[in-house]
Structure 1
Amino acid sequence: MRTSRTRPRRHRRTTVLAGLTAAAIALAGAFTVATTGPARGDVPAAPGWNLAWSDDFNGASGALPSSANWQIDTGHGYPGGPGNWGTGEIQNYTASPDNLSLDGNGNLRITPLRDGAGNWTSGRIETRRADFKAPAGGTLRIEGRIQMPNVTGNAALGYWPAFWALGSPYRGNYWNWPGIGEFDIMENVNGINSVWGVLHCGVNPGGPCNETTGLGNSRACPGAGCQSAFHTYRFEWDRSVTPNALRWYVDDQLFHSVTESRLGAATWADMTNHAGYFLLLNLAVGGAFPNALGGSTPTAETVPGRPMLVDYVGVWTRGGSGTTDPPTDPPTGTSTLVLRSGGALGAAQSAASSVTVASAGGGNYDGTPHSPQTFTATGVTRAYDGGSTQFDVFADSGTTIANGQQVKVSYDRTGDGTWDRTETYQYFATDPVPGYEHYTQAKGLKASTGSHGNLVGGTVKVEIWNAIGNGPGTVGVGNQSFVRIPFG
């Protein structure tokens, strides 16, 4: 769902495929689920596959989705990222149960609403895990059973539901799309009875994925319409075949595929040789894609309040050497260091966790670490690339008012105990609403000392503390927060 700095990306090809050949359908495999009816109540078994992660959205009506599995995106864009989420969509994403909640019947409900002044709100979530990746020599399967908003015609103009995945390096950068990869597993606009599956990669505009359009295909939902019934949308990343392949299915019917040979080795490597992907579910209003197929949307005829329902989301693997390629610590050939449980900086861990940041106790520690959480990488040897530090810290202070978390990054070039370069960033005033927020370098540099140079057996340290406020905070670690150092 990303874009370049200047160009919205979800302008899709508009050809709807009427059907498929029997040979193409035969490739879909034998696993079949029902396409209509209420929530199943569980995530279905997939014979021959190993379930790596799932959420079936069971819970009380009005409850938010599991905070252990999901983080809620709010506002009109990531801090420091492109406005309107890079796509021109107009809604404000919120953490309100009116926009985002369980329905009590085993579904997640994402509902777009319009107030009396014509302002739209809706919901968007993304998995805390960002390491979903095909195992070496095996296959990754991402699947969701979803009913699109049950609205069609002029009343649906501007509706844009989606189930998709973004490459993990996007977190904290927000300007490296589309090179890091995007898999659109299910997209729909304007209540059209069609599902789009799209790959984004390479450079924008143009490139091997024809950006900003992407490499996509579409078809009508089998049997009942996309809007009137649940359908199962599946994406597979297959590393067991040569060339490696990506495949898109609806109700087990294959309707789109892309192979490595179509993109080239370099482009394929850019979108696959990283920690993996995180998953997203959202219902946007307006933007480049619905506008392309319906003029300026939404209109006065657009009806609010028609939710997208998600029965389950599951991730499976088959074959190969494991869920992901074994990481090194710290990661080799990359400048991204993840804040790990236990106070280390290194490769992403498989499980998300969190650490508590002590309260400032009403004091003012702006610029001075106070009872910080500290994360360190030692023995680092890399050449300075002339760039600057970037980071993305997932910060939450619950319902505490006026807390401000702050980050300091320090570099000891030779590991001799002398900090040759320190960077203290402006503190981040967390909102008094439960849910993680993105604290990035876009808040701006408050103070710095020294200068950069090559690291030879050096040390990198990240400190996080509450500069102001009267309550503790929380920082996501394991695979959630990271610093990208300017060293090759």
Structure 2
Amino acid sequence: MRPHRARSALRSALAACAATAVALLGATSVRADVPPTPGWTLQWSDDFTGAANTLPSATNWQIDTGYSYPGGPGNWGTGEIQRYTDSTSNLSQDGSGNLRITPLRDGSGNWTSARIETRRADFKAPAGGVLRMEGRIQMPNVTGTAALGYWPAFWALGSPYRGNYQNWPGIGEFDIMENVNGIDSVWGVLHCGVNPGGACNESTGLGASRACPGSSCQSAFHTYRFEWDRSTTPNQLRWYVDGQQFHSISQSQVDATTWSNMTDHAGYFMLLNVAMGGAFPNGVHGSATPTAATVPGHPMLVDYVAVWTRGGGGTDPGTGSATLYPGTGGALGTASSSASATTLASAGGTNHDGTPYQPQTFTSSGITRTYSGGSTAFDLFVDAGTTVANGQQVRVSYDLTGNGSWDRTETYQYFATDPAPGYEHYTQARGLKSATGSLGNMTNGKVRVEVWNAIGNGTSTLGTGNQSFVRIPFN
């Protein structure tokens, strides 16, 4: 369910037994736990086991509200008409292991619904391995004229979209499951390149659809899966429903630049939502939806969402790497359960390009890992508010043996933030300004991350907790 577009209709015996069991579960309404997946490593999941009438885990999810992202395209870029809320009337766990996203209409004809995103935005196929995103979902159980305008979706967006909102579709979008108007069909779509046209034929995308196996998409739970396979050349993207593949795209189908733009960043975040109206359901119906005949109150039910990887370098969903998060008190480690922030001191109108000035410093110690041969990557949430001409800068240093000597120091080009409130993404794509030393295996080593304002006359904010991360090239 992409941010900008005019939508169109468009392993052993144990492993085999497990796959069969999952497929059978998909065709029932019985609650299922996150299934065992022999040969895969579970990276992240949510089973929605909270109490009835509670919001989903704030550790795992952030809730979108309103009619757009701050500064983003209106109506979420799709023409949908509902207002997203964080009300448990629209978004809640049901106490029986499911998440419910319920579109509602008030007495004046105004629609509300819900949309959530994973806080993590680093889901990525490991080099030489496979990423698997999966959800067991029952679409809103409504069909015919009563379903006109319903638009449920389970999908993923490239992480650079957060805080930018103008770089779609280049950063990539994987529509794992979409449906409109209560039709017994699942759509799987890739969006990439430029809009309009380009390698992904935007704003339509490269898609395929099929009816749900056994029972309709609306009447029962089905398992929707997407795989990003980097273990084969060329790489492949694959879409499944209840274990049955119905769509695939090869790296060879798009140009190298387009493929790189949608894969050579920090990774993806996943979304769940039910929109009402918009270009896709309108286009399928042939006129505006929802209509007076549309019946509110039919929820999309989500039993679980999970991410696995298989093969490749390391168990993180990054590329032969470990992911560290800047936290409180200068910690650099695992992601905290909530978002937080810290202030970067003003550069005071002086140029500190390349030299840390009153930096916020984050350190991780006691690291013993094998160098993967890769490079440092990072995604820092930064915001200078309305300050003009501020620029943030980062330096990442490695002490391979923990003896107090920094064996490798990397200083990246500063990032000039815009004078509008709202976080932006500062990533390694800015490029190295300078580097000294070299990397190798770490034994009881340390990593230090320093962030400061290199230029400007105002303070800036750095998102911490689960907002920013640094990926070090070590298994």
TM-score normalised to the size of structure 1? 0.71
> What is residue 327 of structure 2 aligned with on the other side?
341
> What is residue 480 of structure 1 aligned with on the other side?
467
Cα deviations by residue, 1:65-124 (Å, 9 ceiling, x for unpaired) = 000000000001111111111100010000000000001110000000001111100000
> What is residue 208 of structure 1 aligned with on the other side?
199
Work out whether residues 341 and 355 of structure 1, in 8 Å CA contact, stay in contact via their aligned partners in 2: no
Instruction: From the superposition, tell whether residues 375 and 155 of structure 1 become closer, same or farther in structure 2 (CA, over 3 Å).
Output: farther
> What is residue 13 of structure 1 aligned with on the other side?
9
**Is 1:351 paired with 2:335?**
yes
Which of 163, 167, 179 is matched with 2:158 structurally?
A: 167
Provide the secondary structure at the position in 2 that maps to 1:146: strand
Distance 1:11 1:149 in 2: 20
Distance 1:169 1:134 in 2: 16
What is the CA-CA distance between 1:267 and the residue it aligns to? 1.2
Distance 1:142 1:413 in 2: 32
Unaligned ranges ≥5, structure 1:
15-25, 330-337, 360-367, 378-389, 395-403, 415-419, 429-438, 443-453, 468-473, 484-488
What is the CA-CA distance between 1:11 and the residue it aligns to? 1.0
> What is residue 365 of structure 2 aligned with on the other side?
none
> What is residue 181 of structure 2 aligned with on the other side?
190
Cα deviations by residue, 1:15-39 (Å, 9 ceiling, x for unpaired) = xxxxxxxxxxx9x976634124345
Distance 2:466 2:134 in 1: 22
Give aligned-pair identity as a percent: 64
> What is residue 21 of structure 1 aligned with on the other side?
none
Instruction: From the superposition, tell whether residues 41 and 254 of structure 1 become closer, same or farther in structure 2 (CA, over 3 Å).
Output: closer
TM-score normalised to the size of structure 2? 0.73
Provide the secondary structure at the position in 2 that maps to 1:176: coil
Distance 1:407 1:52 in 2: 40
Unaligned ranges ≥5, structure 2:
11-15, 349-357, 363-378, 396-413, 426-431, 436-449, 471-475
Cα deviations by residue, 1:298-341 (Å, 9 ceiling, x for unpaired) = 00000000000000001111111122114599xxxxxxxx9722
Name the amino acid aligned to 1:42.
D
What is the CA-CA distance between 1:374 and the residue it aligns to? 6.6
**Is 1:52 paired with 2:43?**
yes
**Is 1:324 paired with 2:318?**
yes
> What is residue 127 of structure 1 aligned with on the other side?
118
Work out whether residues 183 and 200 of structure 1, in 8 Å CA contact, stay in contact via their aligned partners in 2: yes
Please show how residues 252-401 of structure 1 align to structure 2 within 5 Å. 252-294=243-285, 295-322=287-314, 323-326=317-320, 340-341=326-327, 351-354=335-338, 375=360, 392=381
Name the amino acid aligned to 2:306.
G
> What is residue 445 of structure 2 aligned with on the other side?
none
> What is residue 2 of structure 1 aligned with on the other side?
2
Distance 1:39 1:63 in 2: 21
> What is residue 127 of structure 2 aligned with on the other side?
136
Work out whether residues 325 and 335 of structure 2, in 8 Å CA contact, stay in contact via their aligned partners in 1: no
Distance 1:236 1:476 in 2: 30
Instruction: From the superposition, tell whether residues 273 and 345 of structure 1 become closer, same or farther in structure 2 (CA, over 3 Å).
Output: farther
Provide the secondary structure at the position in 2 that maps to 1:34: helix
Cα deviations by residue, 1:273-293 (Å, 9 ceiling, x for unpaired) = 111100000000000100001
The Cα RMSD (Å) is: 4.0
Aligned length: 393
Distance 1:75 1:308 in 2: 19
Provide the secondary structure at the position in 2 that maps to 1:154: helix
Displaced runs of 4 or more, over 4 A = 28-31, 326-329, 342-346, 352-359, 390-394, 404-414, 420-426, 454-457
Provide the secondary structure at the position in 2 that maps to 1:32: helix
Provide the secondary structure at the position in 1 that maps to 2:25: coil
Distance 1:253 1:441 in 2: 39
Work out whether residues 282 and 289 of structure 2, in 8 Å CA contact, stay in contact via their aligned partners in 1: yes
